[in-house]
Amino acid sequence: MGFNCGIIGLPNVGKSTIFNALSGAGAQMANYPFCTIDPNKGIVPVPDSRLVKIAEILKKNGPIPTRIEFIDVAGLVKGASRGEGLGNKFLGHIRNVDAIVHIVRCFEDPDVVHVTGGIDPTGDIEIINTELILADMDVLERAKEKIEKLSRSGDKDAARRVEIISKMLEHLNGGGLLKNLMGRDGYADIAGEFGLITTKPVLYLANIGEGAVPEALLKKISGYAAADGSEFMFIAGKLEEEISELDHDEKKEYLDAMGLKESGLERLINSAYRLLDLVTYYTAATELQAWTVKSGTTAARAAGKIHTDFEKGFIRAEVFEYDVLVKCGSEHAVREKGFMKSEGRDYLIKDGDIVRYLFNV
């Protein structure tokens, strides 16, 4: 399982409640800041109706879904980049995630204190983003000092790195997140080398109460998300936690009664999956299993995710599409009608592919 999302936000915004609903891991919750000192981790199966259908057609028992890891990082506060509230430790946890789910409080509750004194979603977002920006600036400024010494000796590569870092610092100083610069040549290499936080894709998740939907607050957050190229959605965290405790039949009955196809948490998992630009493909040689890879992954690299021997000894991949399987009704019919394709190591895996690898040990 190689992909994860860090759940961040101010203290008391409902991060652990949402994490509990996602993972069933029972994260500690309390009405005071820094309850979550060490990050809680939960590996969550990605909802996948295709996997169920493939199992039915291929007559495979116990299909194994792909998974994504969620990490509940302790609440950040103003001054975290300077170490306030154990901020440096918490920021270190965020550097290691692939994407960020930023929880924003949009619910009133007199029993749960708000660390800034009142509901102000965009203000809360800016507190967190400012700390992330300052943390990245600190890392880059220290790196720049060291690399400038090399550039003064005539090292052209060092000079180019200093140029990129200077532009990054300029962007951060203007309040921008570095994720919007990652398409430029050389920038992603610098970001990866120094573990820069603001390069990560972000989903702003509004946590609302169980009453009326706060449309005005949600509009502010969705506008903020659109402006910085992030995604946005909302859920009622406390309600989702309660739904997550129901068994499968009770959950389905509840969602049907509400006229919903899936829970808010299932939408969150799927959104996180899209945020990371992942695709799902399937193998069914012995057991049926779903696998997660980045969009644009080659067949050989995807095989290596299963076992390194698959990549080293790759011969070819037999590939057919989910929609074709459903239309034909069996793998035999797929082959008979000529829809089974033989692909080489550079074939790019597509979402919904069903793959059989041929390889030498």
Q: Provide the pLDDT for residue 84.
A: 46
Q: Say whether 294 sits in a helix, a strand or coil.
A: strand
Structure confidence at residue 26 (pLDDT): 44
| pLDDT reported for residue 76 | 60
Give the closest residue to 89 by CA, choosing from 43, 34, 44, 48.
Answer: 34
Range of lowest pLDDT (68-72, 122-126, 132-136, 316-320): 68-72
CATH fourth-level superfamily of 278-359: Beta-grasp domain (3.10.20.30)
What spatial distance separates the first Cα and last Cα of the chain, rounded to whole Å? 23
Q: Report pLDDT for 78.
A: 61
Q: What is the mean pLDDT of residues 88-116?
A: 79
- Average the pLDDT over each of 31-40, 108-117, 227-236 and give the range with the smallest value: 31-40
User: What mean pLDDT is predicted for residues 219-245?
Assistant: 89
- Round the average pLDDT of the chain to a whole number and report it: 85
Asked if domains 4-36+73-274 and 278-359 share a fold, the reply is no
What's residue 86's pLDDT?
40
pLDDT for position 74: 67
Torsion sign, CA atoms 302, 306, 309, 315 = negative
Query: E-strand spans in 157-218?
Result: 202-208
pLDDT at 93: 77
Domain ranges in the chain are 4-36+73-274, 278-359
What pLDDT score does 350 carry?
96
The reported pLDDT for the residue numbered 2 is 63
User: Which CATH code, of 1.10.10.410, 3.40.50.300, 2.40.50.100, 3.90.400.10, is assigned to 4-36+73-274?
Assistant: 3.40.50.300
The pLDDT of residue 178 is 92
What pLDDT, in 10s, does the model give residues 143-186?
999 898 888 887 888 899 999 999 999 999 999 999 988 888 88
Average pLDDT, integer, range 49-68? 93
Burial of residue 81, with CB atoms counted within 10 A of its CB: 0-12 exposed, 13-18 middle, 19 or more buried: buried
Tell how many helices (H) and how many strands (E) occur in the chain: 14, 11
Provide the pLDDT for residue 31: 44
Q: Is the predicted pLDDT of residue 27 greater than 70, yes or no?
A: no
| Average pLDDT estimate for 341-361 | 93
What pLDDT, on the 0 to 100 scale, is given for residue 33? 45
Q: What pLDDT score was predicted for residue 85?
A: 41
d(CA 236, CA 25): 19
Judge whether residue 194 has pLDDT over 50.
yes
Q: For residues 83 and 91, what is the distance between their CA atoms, to the nearest angstrom? A: 9
> Virtual CA dihedral for 287, 356, 349, 100, nearest 10 degrees?
20
Tell me what pLDDT residue 274 has. 85
Say what the pTM is: 0.83
Average of per-residue pLDDT across 21-36: 52
Place of tokens 């509901």: 119
How far does CA 346 lie from the centroid of its chain? 26
Residues in the chain: 361
Q: For residue 312, count other CB atoms closer than 10 A to its CB.
A: 13
Half-sphere exposure of 316 (CA within 13 A, CB side): 7
Contact of 22 with 72, CB cutoff 8 Å: no
* Banded model confidence at residue 252, pLDDT cuts 50, 70, 90: confident
The two tokens of residue 123 are 């203000």
Among 22-26, 57-61, 144-148, 153-157, where is mean pLDDT lowest? 22-26
User: Residue 141: how many CB atoms within 10 A of its CB?
Assistant: 12
- Answer yes or no: is pLDDT of 347 > 50: yes
Closest by CA position to 113, among listed 238, 36, 14, 237 = 14
Which amino acid would we find at residue 11?
P
Contacts of 265 (CB under 8 A, 6+ apart): 18, 21, 22, 235, 240, 243, 244
Grouping H, G, I as helix, E, B as strand and the rest as coil, residue 264 is helix
Quick one: angle between helices 156-173 and 187-194, nearest 10?
80
Cα separation, 305 vs 287, in Å, equals 16
Q: How far is CA 215 from CA 14, 121, 218, 232, 330, in A?
A: 19, 12, 5, 13, 48
